[in-house]
Amino acid sequence: MSLKKLGLAFVAVALTVSTLTGCGQGAKDAGATKASGSIKIDGSSTVFPITEAVAEEFQKANPNVKVTVGVSGTGGGFKKFVAGDLDISNASRTIKDAEKTQATSNKVDYVEIPIAYDGISIVVNKANTWVDKLTVAELKKIWEPNSKVKTWKDIRPNWPAEPIKLYGPGTDSGTFEYFTEAIVGEAKKSRPDYNQSEDDNVLVTGVKGDKNSLGYFGFSYYEENAKELKLVPIETGNGKTVSPTMETIKDGSYKPLSRPLFIYVSKTSLQKPEVKSFVKYYVENAEELTKAVHYVPLKKEEYQAGLSKVN
């Protein structure tokens, strides 16, 4: 008898929940626009904040469309995308040849739309008085595999002989992949003995708390913590020294550490009106929304070019 009661209780609670959620759904239907259906997005954690901002606004305007965004990383997102499981894939790099081949064999046709720039910022502790800038060659010397750099003195002889503490993203990160390719010269080749975290806040906290630290992570994390970190300008090949700012990232002068971010849209999904209107909404509002989440927007004509791929 108590078993029966228990079963009844379970059923009762389940029913209550489903009616409650059902009601919520019904109430929302009232003010809905025409578009309905679902849009599945997954991929890069770097692109996530932008796509989330777009999804949030789009969802408000179209309550009947169910937009979901996952964070599987660029590689993880493409894996699902080329299998045909996604409508849109967030990517912090362009699609690789191996992934293209899979897409073709699964008959997944797609369009690539750049949506923003991201800069990788090199930062040191506020109390660090000696670092004025770093050259690309010096960065390579610090981060390459089998690096001999153990103290600041190993970089430049007039810097202190204090041990250097390095902070950077973990090996699954798109930022890691991009940084190693741009600085070391080969993607995913890095010295392994540094403090790794997939969570950029951990890197920020690490650099903040250690006078001899040096770290790299996405520009938006520097922007949010600008008062507590010291940004290191980068000297490129021709002797020009550039700090990452909205302007230098946008006009491409912050080389080689600025990169474009993309969304990949399946052409089959573009046939669906809700996906098409979402992508149009994305590109049309990208300039404003990327700024809001501290990324760097593209130029107007670049957005125009993206839009023409959809229409």
Partner 1 sequence: MGQGNWRIRKITDRFAKIAFLCATLFGIAFLGVLLYRIVADGAGWLNWDFFTNFSSRFPAKAGVAAALVGSIWIVLLTGPIAFFLGVGTALYLEEYTKKSWFTRLIQVNIHNLAGVPSIVYGILGLAVFVQGLMLGQAVLAGVFTMSLLVLPIIVVSSQEAIRSVPQHMRNASYALGASKWQTISRVVIPTALPNILTGVILALSRAIGETAPLVVVGALTFVAFVPASPMDPFTVLPIQIFNWTSRPQDDFRAIAAAGIIVLLVVLLTMNLLAVYLRNKYQKRY
Query: Residue numbers of the site for partner 1 (CB under 8 A)?
Result: 1-3, 6-7, 10, 13-14, 17-18, 21-22, 24-25, 28, 38, 40, 42, 45, 48-49, 51-53, 55-56, 59, 66-71, 198-201, 204, 220-221, 223-225, 292-294
Sign of CA dihedral 125, 126, 129, 132: positive
For residue 245, the minimal CB distance to partner 1 (Å) is 17
Neighbours of 63 (CB within 10 A): 17
Give the bridge partners for 118, in sequence order: 259
For residue 230, the minimal CB distance to partner 1 (Å) is 17
Complex with partner 1: residue 52 or 138, whichever CB lies closer: 52
Q: What are phi and psi of 203, to 5 degrees?
A: -65, -45
For residue 261, the minimal CB distance to partner 1 (Å) is 16
Complex with partner 1: residue 62 or 190, whichever CB lies closer: 62
Complex with partner 1: residue 49 or 184, whichever CB lies closer: 49
Residue pair 116/297 in contact (Cβ under 8 Å)? The answer is: yes
For residue 159, the minimal CB distance to partner 1 (Å) is 30
For residue 42, the minimal CB distance to partner 1 (Å) is 8
Complex with partner 1: residue 152 or 266, whichever CB lies closer: 266
Complex with partner 1: residue 24 or 31, whichever CB lies closer: 24
For residue 50, the minimal CB distance to partner 1 (Å) is 9
Complex with partner 1: residue 184 or 249, whichever CB lies closer: 249
